[in-house]
Amino acid sequence: MTRLSFRQKTHLAREEAIVDTVKRLLAEKGFDLMTVDEVAAEVGIAKASLYKHFPSKEALAAAAMVQTMGLALEQVRALDARPELGAIDRLKAITRWTLRTQLAGQMPTLPAENSTLRNALIADRDYMDGLMTLSDQLGAWIVQAQSDGALNRALPPEAVLYTIFARACDPVLGFLKAGGSHSDEQIVDWVMSTCFDGLAARG
């Protein structure tokens, strides 16, 4: 195993600090309001130094998304290694992780319409590979859960997939948390219930 030099370790540590800062700012403010100047100031480096690591604001957001995607895939692999869990249990577990991550302020929020950002993400092979892997695995769980009768079989699997993906930027969590009357776990439980059980009264 190749040992990293002090300079390489410093470079990696700075990049990690940059990405962590970007993730937090994207979660707090979103892509449009986050600025490169703000990122550099919070990390404590010059803007020119930041550009040596990431050439644009879009590249910063892409790096944050790649890291978050990696964390999600770690969760998926861990769940897949538990044969006692059914497909619906795995889907609920990864959704619960997503909600907790968002409430912790660690889930980047990106605009739905931004061509330069979209192009940067599409051009990022790590991001696209991760997205495809995550989509394929969740898609397989969705199909299995529908086959098991645990999910509505009338829904197209992609509709269920996008519904689960949408929980990563669900504004309901922020609204409930801002009220200050509920714990994070209560909020997660309620959003999980609306996602998987719906709003209709149960007999």
Fill in the amino acid letter for 102: Q
- Give 9-66 as a DSSP string: HHHHHHHHHHHHHHHHHHHHH-TTT--HHHHHHHHTS-HHHHHHH-SSHHHHHHHHHH
For the entire predicted model, the pTM comes to: 0.88
Conformational region of residue 76, where left means phi above 0, alpha means psi within -120 to 50, and beta covers everything else: alpha
Q: What is the pLDDT along the chain (203 residues), one digit of tens a residue?
A: 567 776 778 778 889 999 999 999 998 888 989 999 999 999 999 999 999 999 999 999 999 999 999 999 999 999 999 999 999 999 999 999 999 999 998 888 887 777 888 888 899 899 999 999 999 999 999 999 999 999 999 999 999 999 999 999 899 999 999 989 999 999 999 999 999 999 888 66
The set of residues, in sequence order, having a beta carbon less than 8 Å from that of 89 and lying 6+ positions away, is: none
Q: Which CATH number fits domain 58-196: 3.90.105, 1.10.3470, 3.30.750, 1.10.357?
A: 1.10.357
Fill in the amino acid letter for 60: L
Report the C-alpha dihedral over residues 47, 48, 49, 50, rounded to 10 degrees: 50
In the chain, what are the domain boundaries?
A: 58-196
Burial class (CB in 10 A: 0-12, 13-18, 19+), 128: middle
